[in-house]
Amino acid sequence: MSRRTLRASMSVRMDPAAFPASSRSPRAPFAARRGERIDAIAQDIREEGGRAATCVVDVTEAEDLRRLVSTTVDQYCRIDVLVNNAGIASISPLADLDTDGWSAMIDVNLRGMLNGVAAALPVFREQGSSIISVAGLSSVSPSMAVYAATKNAVRTVHEGLRTESTDGVVRTTAISPGYVRTDLVDSMADPQIREQTRKHMDAMGIPPAAVARAAAFAIEQPGDVEIGEINVRPTVQA
């Protein structure tokens, strides 16, 4: 049976088409804030013989995620995998007091993931499914404190969900990437930090497909096996 994989993205950051590759999941609903991007991805999948639906959502709005889950179940009868992929990095030194940036990261990186879990979990408890969320390898370093806090919180929530789901019905996986070639840097307001991060991505960043393979590995395990956490980084990243 083909898997119905629901991807919740913000139209930018990690390419939603990569979770997992269309050849592994021919029935693939995509959700993002900007419809034109996911429409193009869905069209590519259809041209390859797969099925792909799209839905414009804002992951910070819980009702959008509930509507997305309901629409997906109506069209595909079930959801086998939820991928929480939305993320921004409004990083700056704490002394800059960018409270708007802090709030935005909490809303998207953490609350967005929680909204996805809250919308999908009632369905998943009935049918059995996998939840995958993109966390991160960020540690507490200059300018990264709040961003790292949101990503570490994603891992904490996943571990909590795992301990509450030991009946084998719902599997959870937190994937923590290192440098990946995405447009995450576009969400960085500080020009110096943005340029420095872009140089690191250009020098060592791995393609989004590497993270997709990690997601596929977790999904394809037998029903009695759960891959709780995966770290994926460039071999040259410290």
Catalytic residues: 147
127 contacts 78 by C-beta, under 8 angstroms: yes
> Any idea which residue has 């966390």 for tokens?
135
DSSP single-letter state for residue 179: S
Indicate the burial class of 57 (C-beta count within 10 angstroms; 0-12, 13-18, 19 or more): buried
CA atoms within 13 A on the CB side of 53: 17
28 contacts 50 by C-beta, under 8 angstroms: yes
> Any idea which residue has 């959801």 for tokens?
79
Q: For the chain, list the strands marked E by DSSP.
A: 5-8, 30-32, 54-56, 81-84, 129-134, 170-177, 229-232
Q: In terms of Cα–Cα distance, which of 158, 138, 62, 149 is closest to 106?
A: 149
Q: In terms of Cα–Cα distance, which of 27, 9, 237 is closest to 132?
A: 9
As a residue count, the chain comes to: 238
Between the alpha carbon of residue 2 and those of residues 79, 158, 162, 168, 224, the distances in Å are 11, 25, 25, 20, 19
